[in-house]
Structure 1
Amino acid sequence: MAGVENGSDRRGRGNIRRRGGSLQVRVYSGVDPVTGKEIYLSETVPGTDKAAYRRADKVMTKLQSQVDKQRVPSTNVSFSYAIDEWLRSSDIEPTTRHAYVGYIERTIRPALGEMPVNKLSARNLETLYGELRRCRRRCDGLPYIEHKSGDEHDCKKSKCKSHECRPMAQASVRQIHAIISGVLNAAVRWEWIDSSPAKVAQRPRQPAPRPDPPSPDEAAKLVEKAFGLDEAWGTLVWLVMTTGMRRGEVCALRWSRVDLDEGVVDVRSSYTTVRGIGKEKDTKTHQIRRIALDTETVVLLREHKKRCQELFEKLEAVWDEESYVFTGARGDLTEPYPPDAVSNRYKKMATRLGIKTHLHALRHYSATELLTAGVDLRTVAGRLGHGGGGATTLRVYAAWVAASDRKAAEILGSRLPKRPPKGSVEE
């Protein structure tokens, strides 16, 4: 028999121990590089007779082979520890990191943090996703009060309410899956686990995109109202509507990247704020693109640039072509208009007009109007900054592409020679 029934025979690399009505096979596989603790592989064999011992010998040989081939997880640290190491070592954009940390602290760490990373299974992940699709708080289904404070308080005065289950959005659950997958892929690279259970776990289906652009009539009202409030604000709304630029891209736009003679905007960066601190970064798809401007937009930008130069002169500031096209709402000429402030102002303006929309819908408006007018998919994708040669544009705006295709068919049909009616052909 390999090993002995009692005690640990590390020099023999393993042992077989009797545990009730079964045998436990243990094989020493080294020291955890993170925790410093000894690691053992173990497996239980039913029975205690001679046949059971023979089976146990085979199991020990199998486990020792796994150790020799280094297919054994090298650590049993918690998933929470793996998350921290992944966050510390990964190159993630500040805004993306901020969103990830929110998901981690609210959902992932409370659910899976204490579990050893090498014990995490696809079933654990799918169970979590199912719970989130039922209730974002992962409640047990029993009624309880959601308290506004953790301290002693008067629920009536604090307006504490009974909990109502609300499912987490499919897109959010997919984001959680992406974070977990990133951590587990790193654990594989670090040889903490053999394979990632996230690769085989069934992740939530990607929800179908539902762009909801304003109608042409609504768009006209929004632009008219924007210019009525402020010429600079009106120019910003007009530019987003005609170019389809993202809000961060229009906020990061500098005059040095606007060629009014050629009628072209050079989109190279995006502006973002995290906890009140703003910075420029690459565009969402890390692309640099040039967007052609129509004559009316060029005229509006010329007038806007003249107003900006006059404002600089009035404030005795030195004009610089590196100045932002749309400067800070508080009068700071060196800071761009904050993206959140742009969205909030637009939302309030639309609400006052009785239009249910948001700033990003202007991007949808630009895309759908171009497609409906028969502009080819690749050109529209280029203006929007979509990658994949138009695959993203097609997925998001499939309905409008179909309408454009129908229009193209009608145009082609109208250009073909008319077929003579039956019986009218001369014999």
Structure 2
Amino acid sequence: MAQKRCRSRGEGMIRRRGHLFQAILYAGIDPVTGKQLYLRESATTEAEAKRILKKFVAQVAAQRHTTTRATLRTTIEAWLDTHELEETTRATYLGYATKHIYPVVGDQPLGKLATFALERFYAELRRCSERCDGRPFVEHRVEGRSHECREVRHKRPPGRPPAGGYPPHDCVEKGCTVVECRQHVCTPLAAATVRKIHFIIRAALTAAERWGWISSNPAELAKIPRAPAPDPDPPTTAEAAALVAAAWEEDFAWGTLVWVAMVTGLRRAELLALRWTDADLDSGTLIIRRNHVRVTGKNIEKDTKTHRSRRIAVDEATVEVLRDHWARFEERCRSIGVPPAASAYLFSYSPTSDRPCDPSGISHRYGRMCARLGIESHLHALRHYSATELLSAGVDLRAVAGRLGHGGGGATTLRVYAAWVGEGDKRAAEILGSRMQRPT
């Protein structure tokens, strides 16, 4: 039997292909490609193919079939184009999709994407971010062309080489570096990163389900890694003092930045977005209105993380530090014949402070300072230091949450800094116990 046609297009057909029987049913027009969509599945017997065809007819009648052959890559791209996202969030999602999702499951049709495939994908990422599956290989520095795996980069004097070539030299004395390809070492992807990747896939498939492209979302049932417990690691009091002293020794502007970051607990983006119009030194307050970030080579100013501005108080010492910072800014402007602008940024490498510092440059400079002092820390740890010091001193949780810009009325603060809240609770218990007289 070559093929057996049904009476109408809506009833489909069964055709013989070698030793198999294929059930085919027309399912309408693909909303993505605009082409005709057919449901196909093969079976070993004609009776089984008839059962499959009957299932197809029921699915199309109930609209429970996949209405497109679009891939997961197409779906994620459509979701990113239509979903309202911050530029920084969009760039982050696109980076995860390009590096991790597209090479593995990006070309998978939506109708064939199963929950098991997603869970296996997440498990592979948790074992190794390169999905090496335990196979050793060499991580080449240069992809796509031949090269020497071990290369000596000699220190050469500036200018053109002499006529007879460079004279021989001692590589150790000159500080020449050796760059070579190395054996791959498995680096598991963090649980938090895998959860973000899952969120991208789940959100895109939820949109596809809403658009009618698929009948159900396989990512809804996929098991993902457990969210890691927050573990802030602030510098100790001695380390904080050493960091501030080292920052002041470098230069006054850098010392002011580290000081303000430590006493306010501001996020890096909030700190760099501060302008002099946001600093009311007479009343001792700072107004946090915006964030400054750099995305794909562009400087962007946007709302705060909670999309609300806030006022925080600063102490007299910090007010004096900021007054000295303003005096140096005024003197610098006078030296180049430009009046100081009130809209200038507090922290800038520009003589007129008309543009903020580069966020990555600030983090790298802080990291180098920590490495020089032998302290394992990062810039965001200053925010942790501010929060933990306040909570340990018994400051109200809601007041700390307000200074940090946490939403949820302190729920985020409590979740992240639970250990230090517990210390404050212990101190409260000791205060109450000391005021009571034990009966004899």
Normalising by structure 1, report the TM-score.
0.89
Matched residue SS, 2:13 = strand
**Equivalent in the alignment of 2:353:** 333
**Residues 407-426 of structure 1: matches in 2 within 5 Å?**
407-416=427-436, 418-421=437-440
Give deviations 1:63-104, integer Å, cap 9, x for gaps.
334323333222111112222222323332222222222222
C-alpha displacement at 1:156, in angstroms? 3.0
Distance in 1 (alpha carbons) for counterparts of 2:328 and 2:149 = 55
Q: C-alpha deviations, 1:95-137, integer Å up to 9, x for none? A: 2222222222221100011110222111111111100111110
1:21/1:48 contact within 8 Å kept: no
CA-CA distance at 1:336 after TM superposition: 0.9
Please tell me the residue identity of whatever aligns with 1:346: Y
Q: Aligned partner of 1:340: which letter?
A: S
SS in 1 for 2:312: strand
1:309 to 312, 330, 334: 330
Range that drifts further, 10-19 or 126-135: 10-19
Q: Give SS of 1:395's match.
A: helix
| Equivalent residues, number | 411
Partner of 2:124 in structure 1?
A: 131
Equivalent in the alignment of 1:424: none
Take 1:257 and 1:10, find their aligned partners in 2: how far apart are those partners? 73
SS in 1 for 2:27: strand
Displacement after TM superposition at 1:203 (Å): 1.3
Matched, 1:388 2:408: yes
2:122 is paired with a residue whose SS is: helix
Contact 1:10–1:28 (CA<8 Å) still a contact in 2?
no
CA RMSD of aligned residues (A): 2.3
Counterparts of 2:290 and 2:378, CA distance in 1: 22
Return the offset for 1:35.
2.1
Q: Any conservation in 1 of the 2:66–2:110 contact (CA below 8 Å)?
A: no
CA offsets 1:240-269 (integer angstroms, 9 cap, x no match) = 111100011010001111111221111111
Which position in structure 1 is the counterpart of 2:27? 29
Work out whether 1:140 is the aligned partner of 2:133: yes
Give the C-alpha shift of residue 19 in structure 1.
Answer: 6.6
Q: What is the match of residue 13 of structure 1?
A: 11
15-24 vs 211-220, which moves further: 15-24
The structural deviation recorded for 1:45 is: 6.8
The whole-number CA distance in structure 2 between the counterparts of 1:244 and 1:43 is 60
Query: Tell me, which stretches of 5 or more residues in structure 2 are unaligned?
Result: 152-178
Are 2:379 and 1:359 equivalent residues in the alignment?
yes
**AA matched with 1:378:** R
**Which residue does 2:173 correspond to in 1?**
none
Say which is worse superposed, 67-76 or 109-118, in terms of deviation.
Answer: 67-76
Q: Following the alignment from structure 2 to structure 1, what is the Cα–Cα distance between the partners of residues 105 and 84?
A: 23
- Higher alpha-carbon deviation: 82-91 or 159-168: 82-91
Q: Structure 1 residues 65-74 or 183-192, which shifts more?
A: 65-74
1:245-324 correspondence to structure 2 within 5 Å:
245-324=266-345
- Contact 2:272 / 2:347 at 8 angstroms: preserved in 1? yes
For residues 324-374 of structure 1, what are the alpha-carbon distances to aligned partners after superposition, in whole Å with 9 as ceiling and x for unaligned? Answer: 1112x2535210122212211211122222211111100000000000001
Q: TM-score, normalised by structure 2?
A: 0.87
| Counterpart in the other structure of 1:112 | 105
Q: 1:219 aligns with which of 226, 240, 256?
A: 240
Structure 1 residue matching 2:4: 3-state secondary structure:
coil
1:101 corresponds to: 94
